[in-house]
Amino acid sequence: MARRWDVIVIGAGPGGSTAAYDLAGAGLDVLLLDRARFPRDKPCGGGVLISAAKLLPFSLDPVTEQTIRSFRVRYKRSWEFEHRYDAPLAIMTQRSRLDAFLVEQAAMVGADFRDGSPVRSVADTTVKLANGDVHEAEALIAADGANGVVRRALGLPRLRGAVALEGNATRTGSAAASRWSDAVGLELGSMPGGYGWVFPKGDHCNLGVGGYPAVASSLRAELQRYARSESFDGEALTNLRAHHLPLRDADSALMLDRVLFVGDAAGLVDPLSGEGIGHAIRSGQLAAAAVVAGDLPSYRRAVLDQIEPELAAARQLQALFQQTPWPYTQMLKRSTRFWSAFCRIVRGEATYTSFQSRLGPAKILVDAAAAFSERRESRAAAWQTAR
């Protein structure tokens, strides 16, 4: 006999755990499932922007390993510059610690968390697990990542996206150890469609590179070159992992009947930064609010109203930057106003859309240039797919 719940949440990443936290806190009977045993790690740089941390009703201090106040930017592994801000910009953690902590918060308010519970099939809102257990619910929240089991089971197309490769470098005895304490490193201009990064953690640094799918075959060599340029041993990186960054098209499904897609499962990764935790948390909150209100379609409306405009602006800015990265890197280097605007967005004190609105009449030219760049990227992607 199937067990019945008010809501089943599949996937216990930031989006799923946040949704379960809000739902259980509202008094609903919530089942939170994840296929892995916790704590578990997953491919992710482990950086949480302050804008994302502010969305949560509790502090992330228990899992914070570094607090970031500076960005050190390198252009094509040549010249670099660093800007410091007078307030925190991000925190560094590890996904194994972050996700376990978020699950713990959801369980504390009443969510029934079951790890090691892979889903075998999904039919409407009926879920069958690999162990044979069957669960039913009034609503299902899919938070199982890019092209997860729910999306496949319901016959939805794969999400397009970028690709990335990351690894860890020890800070102990490293020539680069003293460079990385409260600064994040960004490598711009070298990876078509993306960038490289150095994220400092407690005893190591996470290094990665990412970009358009066409660069997938070169990621390992590029990561080694980038590591060497930052004085790490590129061949000694550990825990190398590749991953897909799902990007939403404007018409991608956000819900299907009584199933709501959140976070990576909805393709809500920021196209410009590649950051997905913030939109995962926010979409989890919006999904929970729609379920509690008994108005599931309001979830789609809320995402289109609150998140999609930011994604559209980020897609435009990403297209412009990738077309001509040098002048935009120069603006970031030389313009205090540009840098301050960037930091305010990172801290959640401004948005991409508010930044665009301040361009005034110049926005017409920006829109035209971005449209041209986006069409060129679409043609290149179509060509690459057809090969």
Domain of 253, CATH number, reads: 3.50.50.60
How distant, in Å, are the alpha carbons of 9, 112, 132 from that of 30? 7, 6, 19
Token pair recorded at residue 184: 């994040």
Query: Are 55 and 283 spatial neighbours (Cβ–Cβ below 8 Å)?
Result: no
Residue where a domain stops, chosen among 245, 261, 285: 245
Same domain, 110 and 146: yes
Q: Are residues 28 and 116 in the same domain?
A: yes
Q: Is 287 part of a structural domain of the chain?
A: yes
Domain assignment present for 178:
yes
Residue 256 inside a domain? The answer is yes
Domain count within the chain: 3
**Could you say which of 280, 306, 332 is where a domain stops?**
306
Same domain, 14 and 106: yes
Report the share of the chain in percent with pLDDT over 90: 68
The yes-or-no verdict on residue 168 having pLDDT over 60 is yes
pLDDT tens, 308-364?
Answer: 999 999 988 888 888 888 888 998 899 888 899 999 999 999 999 988 776 655 455
Residues 19 and 168 in one domain: no
Residue 33 pLDDT > 60, yes or no? yes
Phi, psi torsion values for 231, nearest 5 degrees: 70, 20
275 in the same domain as 130: yes
Note the helical H segments in 109-210.
149-153
What pLDDT shows up at residue 385?
45
Same domain, 235 and 259: no
Cβ 13 vs Cβ 239: under 8 Å: no
- 104 and 27 in one domain? yes
Omega into 361 within 30° of 0, i.e. cis? no
The per-residue pLDDT for range 43-76, each reduced to its tens digit, is 888 999 999 999 999 999 999 999 999 999 999 9
Tell me, yes or no, whether 252 and 234 share the same domain. no
Of 50 and 373, the one with more pLDDT: 50
One domain, residues 142 and 177:
no
Residue of 326, 352, 358 lying closest to 73 (CA atoms): 326
Q: Tell me whether residue 62 is in a domain.
A: no
Q: Quick check: is 280 in a domain?
A: yes
Please determine, for residue 152, whether its predicted confidence score (pLDDT) is greater than 60: yes
Residue of higher predicted confidence among 185 and 359: 185
Shared domain for 28 and 131, answered yes or no, is yes
Both tokens of residue 25? 């806190």
Check pLDDT > 60 for residue 384: no
pLDDT value, residue 2:
72
User: Is 314 inside a domain boundary?
Assistant: no
pLDDT beyond 50 at 262? yes
Phi, psi (degrees; rounded to nearest 5) at 151 = -60, -45
Which residue carries 């009703």 as its tokens?
57
| Contact status, residue 209 vs residue 198, Cβ threshold 8 Å | no
pLDDT value at 292 more than 90: yes
CA distance 118 to 11: 10
Helices (H), 254-361: 277-293, 297-306, 308-323, 325-334, 336-346, 352-357
Q: What is the pLDDT of residue 356?
A: 77
* 318 neighbors 272 (Cβ within 8 angstroms): yes
Report residue 179's pLDDT band, with 50, 70 and 90 as the boundaries: confident
Q: Are 349 and 342 in contact (CB under 8 A)?
A: no
CA distance 300 to 139: 14
Q: Is the pLDDT of residue 175 over 80?
A: no
Please report whether residue 233 resides in a domain. Answer: yes
CB 240 within 8 A of CB 165: yes
Of all residues in the chain, the percent with pLDDT exceeding 70 is 91
- Per-chain mean pLDDT for the chain: 89
User: Which of 126-130, 156-160, 344-348, 363-367 is predicted least confidently?
Assistant: 363-367
DSSP annotation of 173 = T
Q: Does residue 59 belong to any structural domain of this protein?
A: no
pLDDT attached to residue 299: 98
Question: In which domain, by residue range, is 356 found?
Answer: 323-386
**Measured CA distances, 203 to 92, 167, 232, 238 (Å):** 12, 14, 14, 13
pLDDT at 373: 52
Higher pLDDT: 38 or 367? It is 38
Boundary (domain end) residue, out of 217, 245, 273: 245
CATH number, domain of 222, equals: 3.30.9.10
pLDDT > 90? residue 365: no
**Do 16 and 125 have their domain in common?**
yes
Say if residue 224 is in the same domain as residue 346: no
